[in-house]
Structure 1
Amino acid sequence: MKVRCYNYKFRVGFTKLEIVLLIALIIVSSVAYYAWFIRQIPSPKPPKEERKTITIVDSAGRYITVPWPVKRIAALTSDSAQVLIALGMKDSIVGITKYAADDPWAPNVTVIGTSFKPNIEAIISTKPDIVITYVRWPKPEALEEKLEPLGIKVIRLNLYKLETLFKEVKLLGLLVNKTERAEELVNYWKGIVDMITSRVKKLKNEKRVRIYFEGYRDYAAAGPGSGWDELIKLAGGINVYADSPVTYPKVSPESVIERNPDVIIKAVSSSKFKPYGATDPSPLKEIRDNIMSRPGWSEIKAVKEGKVYIICADMLHDTFGLVAELAYIAKILYPDLFQDLNPDALHKQFLEELLGVKYAGIWIYPAG
């Protein structure tokens, strides 16, 4: 019996090619496993934006803490909306009053009622960081008591009195992180006010012009503490009703005759005459003629000398427009003292450069 013997050869180790292939296999497997493992880990949620806060004192003297910078503002005053636009923050306005909404400068945003009758539901729908309203209007029970429990802060500013305008502009600039722009605006427009007041300061009392100012309603005078009284004083005039015990006194025709003003200025609201874009002054002429023909008023010095003026407060008796308005009054009272002052140019600058609307219309009659 023959036995076959086979010569088996056993190999120890791997060839270079096999080693390379093995390493490649390990790498591919590791990468595949890592990719699978990573997919099993839940993606982290992006962290919530941590907004800073700032505490300010508003014109009602209240300490208020709000998110900073403020990004969404419901403007219950046209004045605050105008300042925000001048600061370059038009997009921050999320709500505006129904009266301001009709003005050519106004943004197309939610209408939130009026300064006197705010629409709380509309305000809430805009999701504002803050609401800006006047110091006196509306009452806290109509606004703060309804909004602040929802985390919506109310800031009270005026912006219609030169006495506090520039301080309030700086405060708004701080709230929206536009302090440099606010400083620039204040320096320029306050410089004009300072120029006017420095000139009239030299006038002796007997040389100062006496003014009867009449508001939107007949015989509604301007008493101490009113915005018009402030403008008259800054322009170097004497308000014939500065001694009134109330801010807006209702006076008699005979009382005006007795006080015999040198100049009469009457304000007209946009409900009577819309100045923007107007070309026909005849409605203003009619108002002026009616004043001059009031019984017994032909004996008043202002009427005798034709110094009766109609001012359209719309888009003029606001924010930096107040400076143009002051310039108009100063030039009416003292034309020789302000030959180099151009109120129309200031008003145009306010409308075109700050609010972005074309200067066109009639705001004072007769033209100064």
Structure 2
Amino acid sequence: MLCSLPILACGSHLTLKIYGNANLDDTIDQRDVDYVEGIINGTQEYSELADANNDGNIGQEDIAQIEDIVAGRETNLILKDTANRTVSIDIPVERVIVPSGLTAEAFKVLKATEKVVGVSNAIHEKTYFFPEFADLPSVGGWKIEDYEAAISLDPDLVISYEKWPPISEAEEKLDPAGIPVVVLEFTDPNFVTEELVKLSYILGTNGAEDRYIQWRSGYERQIDDYVNNLSRDERPSVFLETGFKGLNDVGT
């Protein structure tokens, strides 16, 4: 499907939590095929993600699934989402409901906005930034709330928060309609890169995330280099506040 930017080269370790990433690095490629062969032959240690089809056994079927993912011909993708849920998604994904503005930004980064079929009122309020979504149906204020509207859009996938609404509620409402829900939030800097790569695999956008990752990691390196050269006394104190109804302190 894609060969993502080697994120390890950016100075941080990332494990892409997609079944088929047998060697637990940041992409799925021939090295994962080799790793599964090593497990079968007894020369490599077992890893959960080596079970590419998630059937509880490591075998030739897993090698075939990994080869399909690498070639972009897989019909199913199994992953661990940001809520650590195991989610199975039929591929290709062409119709997605995206209530979160942050996730909508990720679709812009991946140049996949044409796959979005439903959004939220919060996205409608930002037509200056999301003009391509201005005429799409809404499924709620800033999260998925109108499940009947969501189901009527016949989506292949809904991308939601973990807690807004509770993911158990979204599953209960959408599972009977055969609509998978995956949690990708794009709120925690520690997970944004993995979530973006994961979304790129889901959408089949063939490495469209690489330019963003290079841009982001470049600025992260600049900030790290600058801050690491400051003594403790030279580092300014910072107070952050945020909130949906007034301000709440979130950290210093």
- Same fold, judged at TM 0.5 (above): yes
Q: Please give the root-mean-square deviation of Cα atoms over the aligned residues, in Å.
A: 2.0
Distance 2:247 2:106 in 1: 32
Question: Which protein, 1 or 2, shows the higher relative CO under an 8 Å CA cutoff with sep ≥ 6?
Answer: 2
Of 209, 233, 241, the match for 1:182: 209
**Cα distance change, pair 58–218 in 1 and its aligned pair in 2 (3 A):** closer
Equivalent residue, structure 1, for 2:232: 205
Match of 1:314 in 2: none
Pick closer, same or farther for the CA change 1:62–1:117 going to 2, 3 Å. closer
Using the TM superposition, give the Cα deviation of residue 94 of structure 1 relative to its aligned residue in structure 2, in angstroms.
0.4
- Partners of 2:172 and 2:154 in 1: how far apart? 17
**DSSP 3-state at the match of 1:221:** strand
Q: Within 5 Å, which residues of 2 pair with 1:1-368?
A: 52-104=75-127, 105-106=129-130, 107=133, 108-116=135-143, 118-216=145-243, 220-223=248-251, 239=252
Q: Distance in 2 between matches of 1:219 and 1:64?
A: 35
Say whether the 8 Å CA contact 1:76–1:118 is kept in structure 2: no
Indicate if the aligned counterparts of 2:158 and 2:179 stay in contact, CA closer than 8 A.
yes
Q: CA offsets, 1:137-188, max 9 Å, x none?
A: 2113431111012110000011022111111111111111113111222122
Alignment partners' CA distance in 2, 1:96 and 1:51: 27
| CA distance in 2 between partners of 1:117 and 1:56 (Å) | 22
Q: Is the alpha carbon distance of 1:173 and 1:218 closer, same or farther for their aligned partners in structure 2, counting shifts above 3 Å?
A: closer
- Mapped to 2, the partners of 1:142 and 1:114 lie a distance apart of 16
Q: CA deviation at 1:75?
A: 0.4
- Deviation per CA, 1:313-363: give whole Å up to 9, x if none: xxxxxxxxxxxxxxxxxxxxxxxxxxxxxxxxxxxxxxxxxxxxxxxxxxx
Instruction: Please tell me whether the aligned partners of residues 70 and 176 of structure 1 are also in contact (alpha carbons under 8 angstroms).
Output: yes
Secondary structure of the structure 2 residue equivalent to 1:136 = coil
Q: For residue 110 of structure 2, what is the amino acid of its counterpart?
A: L
CA distance in 1, matches of 2:246, 2:139: 30
Mapped to 2, the partners of 1:51 and 1:114 lie a distance apart of 35
SS of the aligned residue for 1:161 comes to coil
Inter-partner Cα distance in structure 1 for 2:141 and 2:101: 10
The 1:117–1:93 alpha-carbon spacing in structure 2 relative to 1, beyond 3 Å, is: closer
Deviation at 1:51, TM superposition (A): 7.8
Q: 1:215, CA displacement in angstroms?
A: 2.8
What's the secondary structure of 2:249's corresponding residue?
coil
Contact 1:115 1:134 in 2 (8 A): no
C-alpha contact (below 8 Å) 1:131/1:153 kept by paired residues: yes
Go from structure 1 to structure 2 and tell me whether the alpha carbon gap of 1:95 and 1:194 turns closer, same or farther (over 3 Å shift): same
Distance 1:176 1:219, change over 3 A: closer
TM-score (norm 1): 0.45
Question: Which structure would you say has the larger Rg?
Answer: 1
Matched position secondary structure for 1:203:
coil
Question: Separation in 1 of the partners of 2:93 and 2:246?
Answer: 42
Conservation of the 8 A alpha-carbon contact between 2:123 and 2:142? no
> Deviation per CA, 1:252-283, whole angstroms, max 9, x where unpaired?
xxxxxxxxxxxxxxxxxxxxxxxxxxxxxxxx
Percent identity at matched positions? 23
Give the Cα–Cα distance (whole angstroms) in 1 for the partners of residues 113 and 210 of structure 2.
Answer: 18
Moved over 3 A (4+): 114-117, 216-219
Aligned length, in residue pairs = 175
**CA deviation profile, 1:224-278 (whole Å, cap 9, x unmatched):** xxxxxxxxxxxxxxx2xxxxxxxxxxxxxxxxxxxxxxxxxxxxxxxxxxxxxxx
CA distance in 2, matches of 1:114, 1:219: 19
CA–CA separation in structure 1 for the residues paired with 2:247 and 2:152: 41
Q: Structure 2 vs 1, CA of residues 202 and 51 (structure 1 numbering), >3 Å: closer, same or farther?
A: closer
How far off is 1:198 after superposition? 2.1
Q: CA deviation at 1:219?
A: 6.2
TM-score (norm 2): 0.64
Residues 72 and 94 in structure 1, CA contact (< 8 A), matched pair in contact too = yes
Tell me the equivalent position of 1:37.
Answer: none
Corresponding letter in the other structure for 2:221:
D
Question: How far off its partner does 1:220 sit?
Answer: 2.4
Displacement of 1:114 in angstroms is: 3.2
